[in-house]
Amino acid sequence: MHKTAEEKTPQRESTKDKIIEIAAEIIAQEGLRGFTAKNIAARLNITDAAIFKHFKTMDDIVQAVVRKYTNECLVSIRTIIFGSNLSVREKIDKIMDTHIDMLEKSKGAIPILCFEVSRSNIYDNKAVLNFLENYLDLVSILLHRGIEEGIIRKDIDIEEAAFTFLGLLQSRVFIWFLKGEGGNIVKDKKTIKLLFEEGLFGASP
C-alpha cells in the first residue's frame, strides 16, 4: 500500500533535519573543505542523490544550517531582552549563557561557518551578515538601556562593546577547531562572563 504525501512528510522532514545537523557537525570539524554531499551521505548512510531530494544545492544546506542555529539564538535573545522582567545585568548574564550554550550545541559550527562563508566566493553570505547585524542590534539595545539606567559605565562605546560581546568566544572556538579537541568548547564560563561584565559594570576611570 502506497503512503500518502501527508504520511511521508514527517519522515522527509526528519531526514532533512538530520542532514542539517550532520552538515553542521562536518563544518565544525572540517570546515567547508570537508563539506561535501559525499561526506554528509556517508555519515547518514544514504546516497548523494537522497540529499538533493531535500536541498537543491549545497548552498541551500549552508543557508539551512545558518538559519537553524542563528534563528534559535536570536529568538532566545529577543525573549530575554523584551519578554522577561530581569534586570539589565541579569539579562546580559543570561544572554551570555545562551551564547555559550548555542556554541556548544552547534559544536562551534556558526562562528566557523561565518568565517568560512565570509571568505568564500561560492556560498551566499547574506544569512550570516543578517544574523550578525541583528545580534549586534539586540545587544546594543540592551547596553544602551543599561547606560540610561546608570547600570553600565557611561564611557563605554556601545558599538565596540557589542562587537566585543559578539566576538568574545571567537578565538576560543578557532583554537578548539584547529586542535581538533573534543568535549566542551568553553572550559570556564564563569571567568569569561566575569571579565566582560566587570568591564561593563566597573566604575568609570
pLDDT tens digit string along 123-150?
667 777 888 899 999 999 999 999 999 9
Asked if residue 143 is part of any domain, the answer here is yes
Q: How confident is the model at residue 6 (pLDDT cuts 50, 70, 90)?
A: very low
What DSSP character marks residue 4? P
- The average confidence (pLDDT) of the chain is 83
The region that residue 43 occupies, defined by phi over 0 for left and psi between -120 and 50 for alpha, beta otherwise, is alpha
Asked if residue 53 is part of any domain, the answer here is no
Q: What is the pLDDT of residues 14-28, one digit of tens each?
A: 889 999 989 988 887
CATH of residue 187's domain is 1.10.357.10
Look up the domain containing 161 and give its range.
Answer: 58-201
Percent of the chain with pLDDT over 90: 38
Q: How confident is the model at residue 13 (pLDDT cuts 50, 70, 90)?
A: low
C-alpha cell at 51: 540529499
What DSSP character marks residue 3? P
What DSSP character marks residue 53? T
Number of folded domains in the chain?
Answer: 1
Sole residue written with cell 545580534: 135
Q: What pLDDT, on a 0 to 100 scale, did the predictor assign at position 203?
A: 54
Asked if residue 10 is part of any domain, the answer here is no
Query: What global pTM score does this model have?
Result: 0.75
Residue 81 near residue 143 (C-beta atoms within 8 A): no
C-alpha cell at 198: 566587570
Asked if residue 68 is part of any domain, the answer here is yes
Residue of 14, 32, 191 lying closest to 96 (CA atoms)? 191
Sole residue written with cell 519522515: 11
Q: 114 or 52, which is more confident? A: 52
Q: How confident is the model at residue 120 (pLDDT cuts 50, 70, 90)?
A: low
Asked if residue 49 is part of any domain, the answer here is no
In angstroms, how far apart are the furthest CA atoms of the chain? 76
Asked if residue 17 is part of any domain, the answer here is no
Q: Which residues lie below 8 Å from residue 12, measured CB to CB, with a gap of 6+?
A: 53, 54
Does pLDDT of 29 surpass 60? yes
Does pLDDT of 9 surpass 60? no
Asked if residue 169 is part of any domain, the answer here is yes
